[in-house]
Amino acid sequence: MKETIVKLLNQQDVDQIVQLTKLLNPTLPISELASRQAKMFEFDNYLCFGLFDKKKLIGVSSGWVTVRLYSDKQLEIDNVIIDDSIQSNGYGQLFMNEIESWAILNNCKTIELNTYVQNDRSHKFYFNLGFSILGFHFHKQL
């Protein structure tokens, strides 16, 4: 992990990003993921963190800087993905630590995230990092 770095990604990185987001969204075509990712970059409060090992993108996370009444300025992260072939080797914790450091440097008071209900491995991972469940995330298709 000596050559592992985290940096912010941009619109030019969409093709690489969607190769990883496909792991979390296997039923969506790459073209749809790329279109949605491109739209996300159009928002001023959107960030995309990339985890690189030896210049290869091995992890991504979307981030949204928002202000909530209950938490003040926060970084809301989602789509946290580490390449399947290297999971459980410490990369996820390293990635989350770097994202947390970014949030602190940018005066965020909290980090919030969503994870799929059926993703039990992620629940254990986030609990081990000090996250707790604050509420339910509801979804309605329109």
| pLDDT tens, residue by residue, 114-129 | 888 888 989 999 999 9
Contact in structure between 111 and 74 (CB atoms under 8 Å): yes
Q: Domain 4-128 in CATH: superfamily?
A: Gcn5-related N-acetyltransferase (GNAT) (3.40.630.30)
Neighbours of 55 (CB within 10 A): 7
Residue type, 100: E
What does the pLDDT look like over 12-41, one tens digit per residue? 999 999 999 999 899 999 999 999 999 999
Length of the chain: 142
Beta bridge partners of 79: none
pTM of the model: 0.92
